[in-house]
Chains A and B, each alone.
Chain A
Amino acid sequence: MSFMPVILWTDALILALLAGVLALVWFIRRHEHLRAPWRNVAQRPMAMGAALVLTAFVAIGLLDSLHYRERLPDSPPDAPQYSVEVLSVFDALVGELRTQQEKTYSAPLATRLYAKEFVERGGVTVRDYPRLQYGGAHLAHASEHLPDVVRRSLIGLAQGLAASLLLFGLLAAWQARRARLVFGAWLTAWWLGQLGWPGRTAAGMMALLLVLAGVIMQLAAGYHVLGTDKVGQDVLYISLKSIRTGLVIGTLTTLVTLPLAIGFGIAAGYFRGWVDDVIQYVYTVLNSIPGVLLIAAAVLIVQVYIESNPELFDTAAARADIRLLALCLIMGVTSWTGLARLLRGESLKLRTLDYVEAARAFGVSHARIISRHIFPNVFHLVLIAIVLDFSGLVLAEAVLSYVGVGVDPTMYSWGNMINGARLELAREPIVWWQLGAAFAFMFTLVLAANLFADGVRDAFDPRLGGRR
């Protein structure tokens, strides 16, 4: 084998989470009362558009979670040795984006470096902005720069449009077959918005994403689309790699939060008495400790642990990964209180309802009452909390990394990007693209998550009665 698969801790958890989500989807599809609100979500154009953007982010994040180590080319076949660098499928797909490293900063789509250097020109050493090693290296003359960018953008646009047309055609044919309609009739229904789901929004959003991807791919082949950072790495690549970090923080933290919040919240509300008192004291105390302090302390402990046990971590990626996991854990431990309080209140209300009394009259055990009567009736709250918390956690990571107690400094993350850019903001002319890229990616992800969460909340909240 020319490579060795590497499963980092977070990879394993992400895969487990993926399996869990798939199982949940399968379960929901078989239960009509669970399916109905999701169908309602699917009818909201805003939510569906946001869901498509989220899907794109998740796809990149998943590809970036399949890690491996390449075999060293000169290692003996019977005792293969592998590179210490952990790569992912995503790295393999983007190819040279990762390796095409410049010396230092360069602006987006630039052909020259951002700092002056001594260069030899016609036998004379002058101080000038040197040409980039990769960005625009194919250009013979500076005057070709703009036409080349335009040409590549147009090609990308055309490719994107072609791809979306093809995809749309395939999807339309499949949908028409499913709905037992003539293709033309389906198209008319689609155009008039009579499909029962927001077909036009979905198609438009898909086309937009594909065109964007086409243009970026065309440009990235010849330029650094979002410039390079201090050590000359492509900012686009860093931004894309940061997606995984953001998603991991957003999802795994929730995964830690949920059992704590659900378990303690329902237990406090259902059992009342001393159980309620203990749980309430615990979360009141936890709430009054500044979260940043706890997180800083926990991250420091993990850092010390890593440094005193170097033999446990064979690669730098494994070290960074364990720190990321620790961050998720500690953020989860500090952020379950809000949801727990909500669930406690709801359980307090539910336990007095007649159907719980009826179950008690049959002598049904507490565990069964909680799992069959209480939990299913607070589940919508859990779901709403998950999607609403996600965006908050992504933003929290950025803040924590900026403060310096977040993820490992070597890890690609939007927080680290902002932290790096902070030092260069005072430069004249300003180095804006690093901050701008982190901002744009984070903004897109969080906006999409929030819009989707809005749709989910509207569909699930019984007080809104599922109205549109």
Chain B
Amino acid sequence: MKPLLEVRDLVTAIGAARVVDGVSFHVAAGETYALLGESGCGKSMTALSLMRLLPDGGRVASGAVELDGENVLALTERDMRQVRGGRMAMIFQEPMLALNPVIKVGGQIGEALALHQNLTGAAARDAARALLDAVGVPDAARRLDSYPFELSGGLRQRMMIAMALAGQPRLLIADEPTTALDVTIQAQVLDVLRRLRSERQMGMLLITHDLGVVAENADRVGVMYAGELLEEGTRAAFFAAPQHPYSRMLFEALPRAGDGGRLATIPGQVPRLDSPLAGCRFAPRCPYAIARCRSESPGWQTIDEQRVRCHLAGQLPALPPRADEAVDVVGGERRPLLRVDGLKVHFPVRRGLLQRTVGQVRAVDDVSLTIQAGRTLALVGESGCGKTTVGKAVLRLIEPTAGSIVLDGEAVTANGIDRLRRQAQMVFQDPFSSLNPRMRVADTLLEGMDALGVGAAADRRAAIVRLQQQVGLPDDAGGRYPHAFSGGQRQRIAIARALAVSPRLVICDEPTSALDVSVQAQILNLLKDLQNDLGLAYLFITHNLAVVDYLAHEVAVMYLGRIVEHGAAAEVLRAPRHPYTQALVSAIPRIEPQTGHEAIRLAGDQPSPLNPPAGCHFHPRCPHANEVCRKTYPERTDLGEGHWVRCHWVAAQR
């Protein structure tokens, strides 16, 4: 049978750079083919080449793209417009940017329907409603009259999918469809995509960097690196035994449950594509590379159900099973370094001419935490649950509405803020916005020492050189500007900046979420080393439970401004008790085949903190909710060894 989509030797160039270089693959109807790779490897460019929507200066240099046996690259632009949306459709990463904010979603879906199915008026409206039902939007008829800003991220992405389906495409290209979404929402959206694919017998090209998403959704997998396809195979074969060193290292770089040791990292960076490349493109970063790799580009070799481009295919040692090391326990006394009691951050909502306060956004509502010296507390939750606000309020970057912060047994008052800032510092999420582009790295590092008067002025330069070595920056980094560094190096600079005042607590606000897997591994290793060497305590704010598992000693799960479950990391993640934590853990796409308990899927979205539901905040989404949950907020239920939850259902079970 002829495949639905066949791509042969596709070469796409932007200027002098060959961003896609000789890529061949095929997608059958009803099949999901996943393109996997780190950022900058040419995955999205491959998709845009198929749609012929390349950015300025980009062109398909050679190759063939056949959709149902027709060469798409040979079509005129006029015919191509029928193909786009009609026979292949695309879903983009950022649903907010892909929807027009001033047109109702019904109108936007109607536009696609009018174009591809000649439906207008009532017929189009019915068709649109049917589409929304298909993608699982509750209350579809009403949602058609909403503007995009009235919808949550998950709903917006469903609207995007509905729009893409309006042309009844044969092939659906999903470019990182869930990267911008929370795990619970990601699980919902991926379920929708899976269901639609099998219902409509569509081919699906799934572009992602997330091995977990691939494992749960793809039938076949292609790994891209520096514009080339390196490896291809069925999902089962690929996950059982990845053949290419790059694929293997991607696996090893992934933080996984119960991993006590260091993560494997991939040294170096993706090569620049506008320079001539000889040999295997991965050779400079490959630990197995031999002389031949550097001179000769490897051809395809077939091993059972897999194809791989590597000179050493089949000869690499088998992947060692990952040892389940015991989590190392940092010695020393368990002294609470920081205690936060009853922290509240409310933002007033003002309306009207006189700016009267009409409501409060309860971003953080009565949060209490204890962080011990040299230990890591992870604060976990979906976006918008207030975890970043907690981090900033602890540092008093946001003035808390109520609550006390006790540092080292001494309460922090408004006058003692300098003391707090000597002891606690912050590492931010986005390494690109957290460094001033107009300041040299050395000046950035000096800033904190100067402001807080750390050490003698004369010693500070020497301290900076030490810091740079400590976080693994090159020696000449100080004289350069941030734009000269990659994302991972920038995050190292940000960590060095926080360490410059020798704090004892570092608040890490999603420090790895903007980074690729291999770079994330480097940063996580660094954080762990620093903790061992300097005895740092971390307040680690994240939504990535795999990272928590790797790094944290204790976990606090937040929902809508409150902590709902708290306990030792292994216990909370392995045996979650709160229904929300259970759903969160269950929603993470896993590489290992799912065994045991079935997947728990949360319905709906997190409500607004402006108007939280009465009783337990979680009850509208909770599968176990009953009358009590709707009325009263649950008290703490202690489960022993510092593990506690706030849940009527758990309390009733005891």
Contacts and interface: CB of A to CB of B under 8 A. Distances in A.
B392 interface: yes
B436 A360 contact: no
A392 interface: no
B433 A362 contact: no
Given A354-B430, A376-B438, A364 B451 contact: yes
A364 B447 contact: yes
Contacts of B395: 361
A377 B437 contact: yes
A422 interface: no
A362 B429 contact: no
Given A33-B438, A33-B481, A360 B430 contact: no
B418 interface: yes
Given A361-B395, A362-B501, A368-B451, A32 B418 contact: no
B428 A357 contact: yes
Interface string B429-465: 1100111111100011001100110000000000000
A358 B451 CA distance: 12
Q: Which of B417, B437, B447, B501 has the most CB atoms of chain A within a 10 A radius of its CB?
A: B447
Interface in A373-397: 373, 376-377
Contacts of A33: 437-438, 481, 483
A32 B441 CA distance: 14
A368 B436 CA distance: 13
Nearest to A359: B447
A207 B41 CA distance: 51
A381 to B, nearest CB: 13
Contact of A362 (B434, B435, B452): B452
B207 interface: no
B156 interface: no
A358 B434 contact: yes
A363 B430 CA distance: 21
Which residue of A362, A364, A372 has the most chain B CB atoms within 10 A of its CB atom? A362
Nearest to B417: A363
Nearest to B428: A354
Contacts of A140: none
Given A32-B481, A362-B501, A355 B433 contact: yes
A233 to B, nearest CB: 51
Given A368-B451, A376-B438, A357 B481 contact: no
Interface in B374-393: 392
A360 B417 CA distance: 11
B208 to A, nearest CB: 27
Given A361-B397, A363-B451, A355 B436 contact: yes
Contacts of A376: 436, 438-439
A353 B435 CA distance: 9
B433 A353 contact: yes
A363 B451 CA distance: 6
**How large, as a class, is the contact surface on chain A?**
10 to 19
Contact of B435 (A355, A361, A364, A372): A355
Contact of A377 (B434, B436, B443): B436
Contacts of B443: 372
Contacts of A365: 451
Main SS class of interface, A? helix
B436 A372 contact: yes
Interface string B402-429: 0000000000000001100100011011
A280 to B, nearest CB: 14
B418 A363 contact: yes
B397 A362 contact: no
B421 A361 contact: yes
B418 A358 contact: no
Given A362-B421, A363-B418, A357 B392 contact: yes
A258 to B, nearest CB: 19
Contacts of B452: 362-363
A33 B448 CA distance: 23
A355 B436 CA distance: 6
Contacts of B421: 361-363
Nearest to A376: B438
B497 interface: yes
A358 B503 CA distance: 14
Interface in A114-131: none
Nearest to B501: A362
A362 B451 contact: yes
A377 B437 CA distance: 8
A357 B509 CA distance: 12
Contacts of B392: 357
A33 B498 CA distance: 24
Nearest to A356: B436
Given A362-B421, A363-B421, A377 B438 contact: yes
B266 to A, nearest CB: 26
Contacts of A361: 395, 397, 421, 425-426
Nearest to B482: A355
Contacts of B448: 362, 364
Contacts of A359: 447, 451
B426 A357 contact: yes
A21 B436 CA distance: 25
A355 B434 contact: yes
B314 to A, nearest CB: 45
B97 to A, nearest CB: 16
A354 B429 contact: yes
Nearest to B494: A358
B405 to A, nearest CB: 14
Contacts of B425: 361-362
B273 to A, nearest CB: 18
Nearest to A360: B397
Given A32-B481, A357-B397, A361-B397, A373 B418 contact: no
A32 B480 CA distance: 9
Given A32-B481, A353-B433, A357-B428, A362 B438 contact: no
A359 B435 CA distance: 10
A34 to B, nearest CB: 8
Interface string A21-48: 0000000000011000000000000000
B437 A358 contact: no
A315 B395 CA distance: 65
B319 to A, nearest CB: 38
A299 B444 CA distance: 49
A358 B438 contact: no
Contacts of A360: 397
* Pairs A-B, 7 closest by C-beta atoms: A354-B434, A354-B428, A376-B438, A362-B448, A364-B451, A362-B451, A355-B436
24 contacts: A33-B437, A33-B438, A33-B481, A33-B483, A353-B433, A354-B429, A354-B430, A354-B433, A355-B433, A355-B434, A357-B397, A357-B428, A358-B428, A358-B434, A358-B494, A358-B497, A360-B397, A361-B397, A362-B451, A363-B417, A365-B451, A368-B451, A373-B436, A377-B436
Given A354-B428, A358-B494, A362-B451, 20 more contacts: A33-B438, A354-B429, A354-B430, A355-B433, A355-B434, A355-B436, A357-B428, A358-B428, A358-B497, A360-B397, A361-B395, A361-B397, A361-B425, A362-B421, A362-B425, A362-B447, A363-B421, A368-B451, A377-B437, A377-B438
Interface of A: 32-33, 353-355, 357-365, 368, 372-373, 376-377
